């Protein structure tokens, strides 16, 4: 299974997926930490993947989503954005709605 | 190490006529971009347009770039 197939499988395995540096318990970058805090505040149940421990996925994602940085949040397999966009959505109360809708 | 001026020029090169303001500390940068290309585009698409002007720099020399994007008149 090549990297693009592995990414597709990960993204179809969970409604909410966060690719980040480190893990929610020990984030390795301030922006990844902030993303997990926002998801926690929204009460999101999500799958997280540490791209620091999987360079193939890290590189593959840049091509898959045409998004060069991390974290990357996906809802129902769709890229929502990075920490910047998550923050703007969170401040407008829209991230909460998107998360609730994705969790169904 | 990247300077805000370098990033400003790259964005302006990629988005001719855009109004670009960049600040930053060498690793983390903030940019305000006003460009007609953003009209009718989502926040995600706008950020992708800006990232495309920075090519391989994004995620490498530029660890993080937080963006505020607007179309003229917004």
Question: Which residues does chain B have within 8 Å of residue A70's beta carbon, measured at their own beta carbons?
Answer: 59
Given an 8 Å threshold on Cβ–Cβ distance, is B59 in contact with A62? yes
The CA distances from residue A65 to A81, B17, B47, in Å, are: 10, 27, 12
What is the signed CA dihedral for A23, A47, B69, B16, rounded to 10 degrees? 90
**Does ipTM come in above 0.90?**
no
Q: Please give the interface size between A and B, counted as residue pairs whose CB atoms are below 8 Å apart.
A: 31
Q: Where residue B26 falls among pLDDT bands split at 50, 70, 90?
A: confident
Q: Where residue B12 falls among pLDDT bands split at 50, 70, 90?
A: very high
CA–CA–CA angle A84, A89, A91 (5° rounding): 95
Q: Where residue B1 falls among pLDDT bands split at 50, 70, 90?
A: confident
Question: Which residues does chain B have within 8 Å of residue A62's beta carbon, measured at their own beta carbons?
Answer: 59
Note the pLDDT tens digit of each residue in A59-97: 999 989 989 999 999 999 999 999 999 999 999 999 999
Architecture field, domain B4-70: 2-Layer Sandwich (3.30)
Domains of chain A are: 3-103 (3.40.30.10)
- CB of A7 within 8 Å of any CB in chain B? no
User: By CB neighbour count within 10 A (0-12 exposed, 13-18 middle, 19+ buried), where does A40 fall?
Assistant: exposed
Which of B47, B64, B65 shows the shortest C-beta gap to A85?
Answer: B47
Given an 8 Å threshold on Cβ–Cβ distance, is A81 in contact with B47? yes
pLDDT of residue A4: 96
Q: Where residue B67 falls among pLDDT bands split at 50, 70, 90?
A: very high
Note the pLDDT tens digit of each residue in A1-44: 899 999 999 999 999 999 999 999 999 999 999 999 999 999 99
A59: closest chain B residue by CA? B59
Residue-range domain boundaries for chain B: 4-70
């Amino acid at each position: 299974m090549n990297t693009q197939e592995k990414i597709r499988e990960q993204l179809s395995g969970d409604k909410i997926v966060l690719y980040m540096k480190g893990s929610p318990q020990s984030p390795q970058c301030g922006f990844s930490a902030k993303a997990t805090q926002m998801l926690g505040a929204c009460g999101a149940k999500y799958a997280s993947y540490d791209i620091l421990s999987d360079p193939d996925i890290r590189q593959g994602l840049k091509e898959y989503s045409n998004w060069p940085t991390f974290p990357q949040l996906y809802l129902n397999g769709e890229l929502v954005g990075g920490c910047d966009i998550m923050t703007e959505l969170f401040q407008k109360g829209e991230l909460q709605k998107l998360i609730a809708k994705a969790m169904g | 190490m990247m300077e805000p001026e370098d990033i400003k020029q790259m964005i302006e090169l990629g988005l001719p006529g855009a109004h670009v303001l960049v600040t930053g500390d060498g690793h983390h940068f903030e940019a305000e971009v006003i460009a007609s290309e953003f009209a009718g585009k989502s926040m995600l698409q706008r950020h992708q347009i800006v990232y495309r002007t920075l090519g391989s720099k994004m995620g490498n020399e530029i660890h993080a770039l937080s963006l505020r994007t607007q179309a003229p008149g917004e």
